[in-house]
Homo-oligomer: A and B are copies of this chain.
Amino acid sequence: MTETHAAQTEEGPVETRTQTRSGGRAGRRAKRSTAPTSISRPYIVRNLPPHDILSEESLVRIEDTADAILAEIGIEFRDDPAALDLWKKAGAEVDGVLVRFPKGLIHELLKTAPAEFTQHARNPANNVIIGGSNVVFAPAYGSPFVMDLDEGRRYGTIEDFRNFIKLAQSSPWLHHSGGTICEPVDVPVNKRHLDMVQAHVTLSDRPFLGSVTAEERAEDSIDMARLVFGKEFVEQNCVIMGNVNVNSPLVWDGTMTRVLRAYARANQGSVLVPFILGGAMGPVTVAGAIAQAHAETLAGCALAQLERPGAPVVYGNFLSSMSLRSGSPTFGTPEPASGSLVVGQLARRRKLPLRCSGNFTTSKLPDAHAMNEGTMSMLSAINCGANFVLHSAGFLDGLLSMSYEKFMMDADFCGSLHTFLDGVCIDDNALALDAFREVGPGNHFFGCDHTMRNYETAYFDSALADNDPFEKWQEGGSVDAATRANTAWKRTLADYQAPPLDPAIEGALNDFVARKKAASEDLWY
């Protein structure tokens, strides 16, 4: 993934490495002088600052409300006595399953949580740094259905699941293989995680997420990662993460806390995500929903620190709204878009990596509605400073369907966002006073020295947009964006080649999966 290219700086042409896996600093330095706007990278180091919208005073009011929720109302931790023990020992007030947190306790516990951490990939060139100024794009997660223009909506299968890993791996604009990209419903519920982790490891060489549906499946996922990376390496480094949901409002279910503790215990990452549809699982007002989510995710992050101080955690958020006419959930609407900007400020104040928003929509087709809502929502993730953007590609139908065509559109948009996040480069070359001296009033810049020096890296070049004149587009068949995307995913799958994998690792994974599958009955619920 590390690319080398010739670039022009104020001092003349130089060879630069746009980014190296050892961290973002070198990449950022190279980027500032060269603005490599269309170059694939293992992750983005943003130059564009986040969009802060609330004052210190308003942010403190939200934090105070979250503190009051934590201290006065409390959070239930159900079906996980070990979690309750940890809370008791830490000084929380435990009353049955209800835990109340004396003011300051959560913030004290979070001091051991890293502000940023590396998630390792089996190809080290694809390691990502989560937190700080870094942005990592991962595919959408968790849809039971898949869709394409040819066959419409149907339940996802392991073949679909593998296809989406291949599409993600083939995209220059995604950084992470994701997790349950779609539910492979043709595989027994208790064995899906084995096939999914195996697919991530064998078909992709990027980082990925493990199972969160049961503690033993999380443990299996981590064990499989140990086969890939080695036990000792995994003990010291984050190589897998679990994406864990709060059962909002103010309930952490035992399945989830056992899973997050399993990841933390193994020194692996967890993303702790309140999913709040305002008016249902939280207040109908945005500020209240944010305060609630803040309390919920911080409690989860703190529990991970109790399990193992220093375990990587990601402040998660999935703010949404609903139609007050029908009660249906809505996505890509303006309230979560502005609300996410506030969530970003809150996460940065706590110095925690942030997962927020994504390319959300309720549309049932990869149409104008889908990309209007999706773009609004994705830009809120970008502008709020999210570090890990799950649901970057493929989300349709209110998260019920993974769309092949929308996946391609979204991945292309992620490319555009690489350039957007580079911001505006200000140096002598970019300011181009020499070009004005050369060209002067009334002439064009097509062939001038400045253009010739800069045009190769000048503009993002979308693979899916049709910028041709109308007549040429018409001669080409008047093809719409969804149809272009349909052609693109089929071509991409046809061209896909698996990244090389050590046969010993592949064999060990095969053995592990076969052994685990043989050890238990198939369960279908």
Contact = CB atoms under 8 A, between A and B. Distances in A.
Interface string A358-397: 0000111111111111111001000100000000000001
Contacts of A281: 444-445
The residue in A145, A283, A374 that gathers the most chain B C-beta atoms within 10 A of its C-beta is A283
Interface string A336-370: 01110110000000000000000000111111111
A58 B426 contact: yes
Interface residues of A, number: 133
A166 B430 CA distance: 44
B335 A37 contact: yes
Contacts of A73: 436-437, 440-441
A431 interface: yes
A280 B371 CA distance: 30
A362 B431 contact: no
Interface in A47-89: 48-49, 51-54, 58, 61-62, 65, 68-69, 72-76
The residue in A251, A420, A455, A465 that gathers the most chain B C-beta atoms within 10 A of its C-beta is A465
A121 interface: no
A58 B430 CA distance: 12
Interface in A293-346: 321-326, 328-330, 333-335, 337-339, 341-342
A277 to B, nearest CB: 9
A259 interface: no
The residue in A430, A437, A443, A484 that gathers the most chain B C-beta atoms within 10 A of its C-beta is A430
Contact of A75 (B284, B441, B460): B441
B362 A466 contact: yes
A338 B459 CA distance: 12
Contact of A287 (B284, B324, B431): B431
A439 interface: yes
Copies in the complex: 2
A442 B372 contact: no
A487 interface: no
Nearest to A465: B369
A20 B437 CA distance: 50
B468 A424 contact: no
A249 interface: yes
Contacts of A425: 285-287
Contacts of A207: none
Contact of A468 (B58, B72, B328, B406): B328
Contacts of A444: 249, 280-281
Nearest to A52: B49
A467 interface: yes
A334 B420 contact: yes
Contacts of A511: none
B330 A465 contact: yes
Nearest to A97: B441
Given A279-B445, A287-B425, A48 B465 contact: no
A369 B482 CA distance: 8
12 contacts: A37-B334, A53-B423, A61-B426, A278-B459, A279-B458, A285-B429, A285-B450, A286-B424, A324-B459, A334-B419, A362-B467, A369-B409
Given A284-B451, A364-B474, 4 more contacts: A75-B441, A249-B444, A334-B460, A375-B376
Interface of A: 35, 37, 48-49, 51-54, 58, 61-62, 65, 68-69, 72-76, 98, 145, 153, 247, 249-251, 278-288, 290-292, 321-326, 328-330, 333-335, 337-339, 341-342, 362-376, 379, 383, 397-398, 400-401, 406, 409, 413, 416-420, 422-427, 429-433, 435-437, 439-446, 450-451, 454-456, 458-462, 464-470, 473-474, 478, 480-482, 484-485
8 interchain residue pairs of minimum CB distance: A288-B432, A369-B481, A250-B441, A283-B432, A375-B375, A287-B430, A334-B420, A334-B419
